[in-house]
């Protein structure tokens, strides 16, 4: 009964390829997020969706495109992968975007390695 | 600028001792939320404890407590009776006015047997 799940857990790919990471939450939350954790363990938010609508879009290259088919899913598609994209990507969800202090629950992370 | 500062990149603590992980934050928002997350070597992020800026009492969750000193803008995590399984990275985080959550750089905690 995993709350926030991501697939795949590990992803190794060549530079220039296009790849997707999937995220699903079964908590009934309205809001989902994508974070990037770099090699120095610093977490930065990338995107936030509330009920399938884009809320937060940080300064992220447009090679990154989130897609939310429904409020339980937020997938991250990355085009033309670059070496600097290597990182751990975390999906998270929270009950509501309106309640600013809602706890976010994180998925297990996807370690992306671009060769 | 709003930010979270964790000044201890690494700590070593003897098992069963209490440990305090430091976190200071900077914000001009009157309302905000503070969080602590644990990231074990397996990589997942685990929510530990939450403190609202208007909460009168310090938050507690089992062996975790948050020493919230609003005037000093600090939100230190206290782990009582540390266990080997507490070895992990610990992140302090704050939710800003614009609903973005920002993280500190983390503290790596090592519990020694």
The residues facing A88 across adjacent strands are: A37, A111
> Which pLDDT value is given to residue A57?
77
Question: Rounded to whole angstroms, what are the CA distances from B98 to A63, A87, B37?
Answer: 25, 25, 20
Give me the pLDDT at residue A36, please.
93
pLDDT given at position A101:
56
- Per-residue pLDDT of chain A (115 residues), as tens digits, is 668 999 999 999 999 999 999 999 998 988 899 999 987 778 888 988 888 888 877 778 899 999 999 989 999 999 999 999 999 999 999 887 555 556 788 898 999 999 9
Q: Does B100 touch chain A (CB under 8 A)?
A: yes
Tell me what pLDDT residue A94 has: 86
Task: Confirm if A37 and B37 have CB atoms less than 8 A apart.
Answer: no
Which candidate in A2, A5, A100 is best for mutational testing of the B interface (most B CBs within 10 A)?
Answer: A100
Q: Inform me whether the C-beta atom of residue A55 falls under 8 Å from chain B C-beta atoms.
A: yes
Which residues of chain A neighbour B42 with C-beta distances below 8 Å? 108
Q: Provide the pLDDT for residue B98.
A: 67
- In this prediction, residue A1 carries a pLDDT of 60
Closest residue of B to A102, CA-based?
B33
Put simply, the answer to whether A100 touches B33 (Cβ < 8 Å) is yes
Whether B33 and A101 lie within 8 Å, measured CB to CB: yes
How many residue pairs bridge chain A and chain B with CB atoms within 8 Å of each other? 62
| A42 in reach of chain B (CB within 8 A) | yes
CA distances from A3 to A73, A88, B4, B48, B54 (A): 12, 19, 27, 15, 29
Residues B97 and B32: beta-carbon distance below 8 Å: yes
- List chain B pLDDT tens, one digit each, 113 residues: 678 999 998 999 999 999 999 999 998 888 888 999 998 887 778 889 989 888 889 999 999 999 999 999 999 999 999 999 999 999 999 987 666 788 998 999 999 99
- Give the integer Cα–Cα distance in Å for A17 and B53: 45
A77 touches B: beta carbon within 8 Å: no
Bridge partner residues of A105 (DSSP): A93
B32 touches chain A (CB under 8 A): yes
Q: Extract the runs of DSSP E, i.e. beta strands, from B22-104.
A: 24-26, 33-39, 46-52, 60-61, 64-69, 74-79, 88-95, 101-103
């Amino acid at each position: 009964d995993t709350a926030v799940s991501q697939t795949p857990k590990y992803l190794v790919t060549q530079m220039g390829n296009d790849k997707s990471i999937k995220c699903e939450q079964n908590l009934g939350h309205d809001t989902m997020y994508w974070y990037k954790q770099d090699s120095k363990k610093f977490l930065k938010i990338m995107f936030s969706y509330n009920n399938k609508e884009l809320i937060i879009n940080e300064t992220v290259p447009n090679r990154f495109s989130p897609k939310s088919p429904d409020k339980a899913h937020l997938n991250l598609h990355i085009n033309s992968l670059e070496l600097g994209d290597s990182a751990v990507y975390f999906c998270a969800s929270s009950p509501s975007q309106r309640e600013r202090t809602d706890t976010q629950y994180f998925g297990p992370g996807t370690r992306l390695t671009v060769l | 600028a709003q930010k979270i500062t964790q000044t201890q990149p690494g700590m070593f603590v003897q098992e069963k001792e209490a440990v305090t992980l430091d976190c200071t934050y900077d914000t001009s928002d009157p309302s905000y939320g503070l969080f602590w997350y644990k990231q074990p070597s397996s990589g997942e992020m685990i929510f530990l404890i939450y403190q609202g800026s208007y909460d009168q009492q310090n938050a507690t969750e089992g062996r975790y407590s948050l020493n919230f000193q609003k005037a000093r803008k600090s939100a230190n995590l206290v782990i009582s009776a540390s266990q080997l399984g507490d070895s992990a990275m610990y992140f302090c985080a704050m939710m800003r006015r614009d609903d973005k959550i920002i993280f500190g750089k983390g503290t790596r905690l090592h519990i020694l047997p």
